[in-house]
């Protein structure tokens, strides 16, 4: 018999009201098993935020994340820069965590849904999404679901080797059970949802009531789960602008010395002042694609 069942049996004997125990913490007990004396109540308190799925949800698929491979591909810093980057991301994530764990305003978008975007391609928003997700996953009692919502160019799916797997768009179009499409990883508290198949009208799907219900279900299943959306750039895609309307927090990534000032101003204007966790200044070395508004393409080479 588990400690939870022992405490419940003791409370019933004394006719005191008992709080039901979570199903995931109480393994079944044979009918003929005798009830041993109960142990003190203080030893049976459930975790504040269990990271395991409720019994009613499907077990996630498994994905091995090789940090050395990510480092070689430029999505994690060199070992010599690890410490400084960790300090930087602690500063970035602190207001995000505080907003996500605070009581949301009535009618406001869920602050646990965090969008990471940029004004233009090449500003480093996918690098930021991955490193911010890994940093957030180190928080106690918080889990992070990194969602590849950059449907035109699903970099997250490609980086983690799940580009051909069903994902977000399958859940939206086919109404598949989204929890069954999530990949748990070998990194505690960190999971990935691929972009899924390319479909026409992706922007409309991302802005639909189905998308809102999907995000609501993802956060309801795990009250301490943060959903991190790696979004398409704002200024040259309609998919990125669609996600602005449903995200509870927005992180705008800017590349130092590369992102034009007018692009930054236009992106901030699109975000408005009612949301936004802030701007992340990225000092990467790669130049971005020469494309802005009517110039250039994004995602047509998929």
Mapped to the 3 state alphabet, what secondary structure does 41-100 carry? HHHHCCCCCCCCCCCCCCCCEEECCCHHHHHHCCCCCCHHHHHHHHHHHHHHHHHHHHHH
Q: How confident is the model at residue 79 (pLDDT cuts 50, 70, 90)?
A: confident
**CA distances (Å), origin 113, targets 39, 49, 134, 275:** 40, 17, 16, 12
The answer to whether the beta carbons of residues 34 and 209 sit under 8 Å apart is no
Q: What is the pLDDT of residue 57?
A: 62
Cβ-count burial of 143 within 10 angstroms (0-12 exposed, 13-18 middle, 19+ buried)?
buried
Q: Quick one: CATH architecture of 61-282?
A: 3-Layer(aba) Sandwich (3.40)
- Tokens representing 70 are 């990510």
7-53 pLDDT per residue, tens: 445 544 544 433 333 333 333 334 444 444 444 433 333 333 445 55
Distance CA(99)–CA(113), nearest Å, equals 11
Kindly tell me if the per-residue pLDDT of 261 is higher than 90: yes
Q: What is the pLDDT of residues 153-183, one digit of tens each?
A: 999 999 999 999 999 999 999 878 899 999 9
By percentage, how much of the chain surpasses pLDDT 90? 50
The residue extents of the domains of the chain are 3-44, 61-282
Instruction: Supply the pTM of this predicted model.
Output: 0.74
Residue closest to 134 by CA, chosen among 120, 152, 116, 118: 116
Give the pLDDT band (50/70/90) at residue 290. Answer: very low
CA distance linking residue 73 with residue 8, whole number of Å: 52
């Amino acid at each position: 018999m588990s400690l939870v069942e022992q405490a419940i049996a003791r409370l019933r004997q004394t006719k005191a009201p008992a709080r039901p125990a979570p199903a995931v913490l109480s393994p079944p007990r044979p009918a003929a098993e005798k009830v041993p004396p109960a142990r003190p109540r203080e030893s049976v308190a459930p975790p504040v935020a269990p990271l395991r799925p409720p019994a009613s949800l499907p077990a996630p698929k498994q994905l091995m994340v090789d940090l050395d491979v990510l480092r070689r591909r430029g999505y994690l810093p060199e070992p010599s820069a690890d410490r400084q980057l960790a300090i930087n991301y602690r500063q970035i994530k602190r207001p995000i965590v505080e907003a996500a764990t605070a009581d949301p305003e009535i009618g406001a978008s869920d602050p646990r849904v965090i969008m990471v975007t940029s004004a233009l391609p090449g500003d480093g928003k996918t690098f930021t999404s991955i490193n911010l997700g890994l940093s957030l996953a180190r928080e106690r009692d918080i889990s992070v679901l990194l969602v590849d919502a950059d449907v035109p160019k699903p970099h997250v799916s490609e980086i983690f080797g799940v580009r051909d797997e069903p994902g977000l768009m399958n859940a939206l179009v086919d109404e598949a059970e989204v929890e069954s499409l999530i990949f748990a990883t070998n990194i505690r508290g960190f999971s990935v949802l691929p972009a899924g198949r390319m479909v026409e009208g992706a922007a409309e799907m991302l802005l639909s009531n189905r998308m809102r219900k999907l995000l609501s279900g993802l956060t309801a299943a795990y009250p301490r789960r943060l959903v991190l959306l790696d979004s398409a750039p704002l200024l040259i895609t309609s998919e990125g602008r669609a996600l602005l309307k449903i995200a509870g927090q927005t992180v705008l990534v800017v590349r130092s010395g590369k992102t034009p000032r007018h692009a930054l101003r236009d992106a901030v204007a699109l975000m408005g002042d009612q949301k936004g966790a802030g701007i992340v200044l990225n000092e990467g070395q790669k130049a971005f694609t020469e494309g802005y508004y009517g110039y250039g393409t994004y995602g047509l080479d998929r």
